Amino acid sequence: METPNISSSSFLWYFIRFLVLVCLILCSLETCFTLEESDVKSHLGLEYSHTVQVKSLLPATTCSPSTQGHDKKASVLKVVHKHGPCSHFNQSHKENAPTHTQILGQDQARVNSIHSRRNPKKAIDRRGQRQRDSTTVPALSGSTVGAGDYIVTVGLGTPKKQLSLTFDTGSDLTWTQCRPCIRPCYKQVDPIFDPSVSSSYANVSCNSVVCSQLKSGTGYAPACATSTCVYTTAYGDGSISVGFFAKETITLTSTDVFDGFLFGCGKINQGLFRGSAGLLGLGRDSISFVEQTAAKYGRFFSYCLPSTSSSTGFLSFGREKRGRASKGVKFTRLATLPQKEYSSLYGINLVGITVGGRKLPISISVFKTSGTIIDSGTVITRLPPQAYSALRAAFQQGMKSYPRAPAISILDTCYDFSSYETVNIPKIAISFKGGLTLDLDGTGIIYPVTASQACLAFAANKNDSDIAVFGNVQQLKLEVVYDVDKGKLGFASGGCL
């Protein structure tokens, strides 16, 4: 066999090509190892999912106050979950903490009460009277002022008495239990307020203009008892508060003191209030705290709800007292709801939902038909049935590698994470009119019952015409900014832990 005749020039040419090829390979390898993290995530499809530690979804047994959020020098209120270790309720009423089934059942009662505003004939209190139904906070309005409540502490009277109140953007009237109760007072952690020992307390007259404002704020016409204005407010589960409409000094901080604040001094209070002293109403009616303090705060407030019941958040009033996250706030316009029954609620224009990087094929008319409100007191976000079906299908597709778990109450899409330390959850983004897209944190997507039962934190309304509700699970860790004067609602990430 003949040996190929390769000239020295040809050999040199092949050798140079070989070196070039080696250099290209080495360069490519180096590039692979210096890829940005975002490029790697994109290649693996992880940029469209949250990697979440399962234990981070569950509350701890000890309090871990948030190190983020508002400036400590600002005049703000600390927000705690009523039944978490950061609350004094935890020691006094631990045995009364509701189960998840109760919380979700109460949440549905609250949403029913919101929907019943369009049909007051369906809302009946325990005495058989028709009601328009107010809403209440953390978990359910009075209709369940006790499911997933977030509370703040304020001072009432002179000298001031500290009271723990559930704060609620879905209610207008601020009220607390007052001694003496006409019927037995329900059990609360704080001492019950006694107006007879306050030098600044005064009842409101039946003939006063402010007495006539009660109907728009509570849904009930005021009554009269020996020339004193009497309020009534009732909730979807039959919980009620009835008492004297009065004026008193309310204190948030040493520099935030308001004289002549209108509130309800409750004499008959029954229902699922679970130990709180009453309610702080942050709705849009003239009797709400937001409206009564407008001269000082300019109808501007923000809050951050902690991601678990073992952490803390804040409630802040006034533009100059915004949280640290507010520099990154993005706004959408508050919506004017066509139904006058919802005029005191905060309407928003939801226009689309994205799951795992893909926008769901939901017609914008679906959201226009229902309308949407944001509510600090509703736990689980409610969507029109068409929108929820599309969301659920896309989420289930992204979670198909995880074992399913039984449904619980209103939550029908649950998973068993007990065998995992971390899980990958499809990202969900909510789009609002005006170009704002809100990327939900992992804690705003999953409602953890236990490690073996973690559920998609969305549910469907009964009908497509029922108003949609953006609930507080989806608001966790965000600073939610209400600029009511300018008709805007904003969100900023990293508000609290």
Q: What is the 3-state secondary structure (H, E, C) of the chain?
A: CCCCCCCHHHHHHHHHHHHHHHHHHHHHHHHHHCCCHHHHHHHHCHHHEEEEEHHHHCCCCCCCCCCCCCCCCCCEEEEEECCCCCCCHHHHCHHHCCCHHHHHHHHHHHHHHHHHHHCHHHCECCCCCECCCCCCCCCCCHHHCCCCCEEEEEEECCCCEEEEEEEECCCCCCEEEECCCCCCCCCECCCCECHHHCCCCEECECCCHHHHCHHHHHCCCCEEECCEEEEEEECCCCCEEEEEEEEEEEEEECCEEEEEEEEEEEEEEECCCCECCEEEECCCCCCCHHHHCHHHHCCEEEEEECCCCCCEEEEEECHHHCCHHHHHCEEEEEECCCCHHHCCCEEECEEEEEECCEECCCCHHHHHHHCEEECCCCCCEEECHHHHHHHHHHHHHHCCCCCEECCECCECCEECCCCCCEEEEECEEEEECCCCEEECCHHHCEEEEECCEEEECEEECCCCCCCEEECCHHHECCEEEEECCCCEEEEECCCCC
Residue 275: predicted pLDDT: 76
Answer with the residue of higher pLDDT: 413 or 89: 413
Q: Do domains 63-92+101-114+146-317 and 328-493 have the same CATH topology?
A: yes
Answer with the residue of higher pLDDT: 303 or 117: 303
The percent of residues above 70 in pLDDT, for the chain, comes to: 78
Q: Is the pLDDT of residue 340 over 70?
A: yes
Structure tokens, 326: 């507010």
Answer with the residue of higher pLDDT: 474 or 325: 474
Residue 359: predicted pLDDT: 97
pLDDT tier, 17 (very low <50, low <70, confident <90, very high otherwise): low
Q: Is the pLDDT of residue 351 over 50?
A: yes
Q: What are phi and psi of 200, to 5 degrees?
A: -105, 5
Structure tokens, 27: 């360069």
Residues labelled catalytic? 168, 375
CA separation, residue 117 to residues 122, 141, 236, 286, 352 (Å): 9, 13, 10, 18, 26
Query: How does the average pLDDT of the chain come out, rounded?
Result: 83
Query: Mean pLDDT highest for which of 9-13, 317-321, 466-470?
Result: 466-470
Residue 14: predicted pLDDT: 57
Listed range (90-104, 215-229, 442-456, 464-478) with the worst mean pLDDT: 90-104
Residue 479: predicted pLDDT: 94
Answer with the residue of higher pLDDT: 299 or 322: 299
Q: Is the pLDDT of residue 358 over 80?
A: yes
Residue 459: predicted pLDDT: 98
Residue 355: predicted pLDDT: 98
CATH 2.40.70.10 fits 63-92+101-114+146-317, yes or no: yes
Q: State the average pLDDT over residues 175-182.
A: 94
Listed range (178-192, 305-319, 321-335, 429-443) with the worst mean pLDDT: 321-335
Residue 91: predicted pLDDT: 59
Answer with the residue of higher pLDDT: 478 or 272: 478
CATH class of 328-493: mainly beta
pLDDT, tens only, 216-256: 999 899 999 999 999 999 876 678 899 999 999 999 999 99
Q: Is the pLDDT of residue 397 over 70?
A: yes
Residue 82: predicted pLDDT: 81
Q: Is the pLDDT of residue 431 over 60?
A: yes
pLDDT tier, 51 (very low <50, low <70, confident <90, very high otherwise): very high
Domain boundaries, the chain: 63-92+101-114+146-317, 328-493
Q: What are phi and psi of 162, to 5 degrees?
A: -75, 130
Q: Is the pLDDT of residue 277 over 70?
A: yes
pLDDT, tens only, 118-177: 655 444 333 334 333 322 222 222 333 434 479 999 999 999 999 999 999 999 999 999
pTM of the full structure: 0.85
